[in-house]
């Protein structure tokens, strides 16, 4: 039997909660976060459970964010108590505001339509805003919360560059949402023993170093990619098909993926990308795609997953990384242009 250790592009994390011992009440002595209504110790950094020092958890409302265990939010217009202005060159001033938003992946279930935060996709220590203060670059450090929300206070009016870890966004807005939704099926069965998916992908453009193939099933949410490099046997350059066996138990063990079941509406899709890299940046386009036959794989069983890829019928998507613009942006902040 041939098995492939596929490269998985999906990373799953879970927002954890600190649970107190069931034999003890949640108290300031036993909980550094906040105590929920059911006497459970929470981290205290989520908008749905905000607090510190063992106090009763508070639920932030509206646009409020949980900052250091307190629900805060709204617009700081510079007037009245707590307001402020940021001075600029020439003796002028710009009104200070809060830039708030969310940056996280959400996991949803077909069964109940619910969504829960999984991973945040940014380091909470690297959140802030870059702007020019009289021609010189300046940085305002922000705050990232456990539930994927962030806030940067006293942001000058006008266009600024928001930094979320290694990502930069040029914007004039003061409320942003970068959430992505990942679908899945809550009652998917996990593979606990060898369960073989016999994968066959046909109709590819000839395999080359500038192309990549992958697939996903709707109950997973994530994708398995670079199949041409990890198939056993390895697919040779110039091939127009890929054949390999996948032990689904490996996915269940590593990522908790459930088995595909066509009777529950699960479907599978395959794709092929083509990438071109020039001095101007990298361009990635979807060139081939297709839907697998109906696939049901039971625990310990074997099933065939066959797909014939065809040219896309709609305009292909294009991802353009503007290297020159990014280099100029980094240089304006006095950073090395070689650091992404």
For the segment 307-318, what is each residue's pLDDT rounded down to a tens digit? 999 997 655 555
Pairing verdict, β 268-278 and 211-217: antiparallel
247 and 300 Cβ atoms separated by less than 8 Å: no
What pLDDT shows up at residue 74?
43
* 20 or 34, which is more confident: 34
Long-range contacts of 24-31 (CB under 8 A, 24+ apart): 26/54, 27/54, 28/53, 28/54, 28/55, 29/54, 30/54
Secondary structure letter of residue 255 according to DSSP: H
307 and 241 Cβ atoms separated by less than 8 Å: no
Q: How far apart are CA 167 and CA 254, in angstroms?
A: 28
Average pLDDT value for residue range 116-128: 68
Average pLDDT value for residue range 115-131: 71
Q: Which helix (H) or strand (E) holds 246?
A: strand 241-247
pLDDT over 60 at 4, yes or no: no
Is the pTM for the entire model greater than 0.95?
no
Average pLDDT value for residue range 64-89: 46
Instruction: Label residue 124 by pLDDT band (50, 70, 90).
Output: low
213 and 6 Cβ atoms separated by less than 8 Å: no
Q: How far apart are CA 18 and CA 26, in angstroms?
A: 11
What pLDDT shows up at residue 177?
84
pLDDT over 70 at 82, yes or no: no
What pLDDT shows up at residue 302?
97
Nearest to 147 by CA among 25, 33, 38: 33
The lowest-confidence range among 243-257, 271-285, 318-332 is: 318-332
């Amino acid at each position: 039997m041939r098995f492939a250790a596929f490269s998985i592009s999906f990373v799953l994390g879970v927002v954890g909660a600190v649970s107190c011992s069931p034999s003890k009440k949640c108290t300031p002595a036993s909980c550094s976060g906040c105590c929920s209504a059911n006497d459970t110790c929470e981290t205290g950094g989520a908008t749905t459970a905000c607090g510190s020092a063992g106090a009763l958890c508070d639920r932030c409302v509206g646009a409020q964010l949980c900052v250091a265990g307190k629900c805060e939010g709204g617009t700081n217009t510079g007037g009245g108590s707590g307001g402020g202005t940021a001075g600029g060159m020439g003796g002028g001033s710009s009104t200070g505001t809060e830039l708030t938003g969310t940056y996280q992946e959400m996991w949803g279930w077909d069964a109940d339509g619910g969504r829960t935060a999984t991973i945040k996709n940014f380091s909470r220590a690297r959140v802030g805003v870059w702007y020019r203060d009289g021609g010189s670059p300046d940085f305002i450090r922000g705050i990232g919360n456990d539930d994927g929300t962030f806030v940067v206070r006293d942001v000058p009016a006008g266009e600024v560059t928001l930094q979320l870890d290694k990502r930069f966004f040029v914007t004039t807005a003061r409320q942003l949402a970068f959430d992505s939704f990942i679908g899945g099926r809550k009652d998917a069965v996990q593979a606990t023993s060898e369960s073989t998916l016999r994968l066959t992908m046909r109709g590819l453009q000839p395999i080359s170093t500038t192309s990549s193939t992958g697939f996903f099933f709707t109950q997973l949410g994530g994708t398995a990619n670079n199949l041409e490099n990890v198939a056993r046997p390895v697919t040779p350059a110039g091939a127009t098909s890929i054949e390999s066996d996948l032990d689904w138990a490996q996915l269940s063990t590593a990522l908790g993926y459930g088995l595909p079941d066509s009777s529950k509406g699960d479907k599978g899709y395959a794709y092929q990308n083509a990438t071109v890299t020039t001095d101007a940046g990298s361009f990635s386009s979807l060139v081939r795609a297709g839907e697998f036959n109906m696939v049901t794989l039971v625990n310990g069983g074997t099933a065939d997953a066959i797909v014939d890829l065809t040219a896309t019928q709609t305009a292909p998507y294009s991802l353009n990384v503007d290297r020159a613009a990014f280099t100029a942006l980094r240089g304006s902040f006095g950073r090395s242009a070689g650091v992404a």
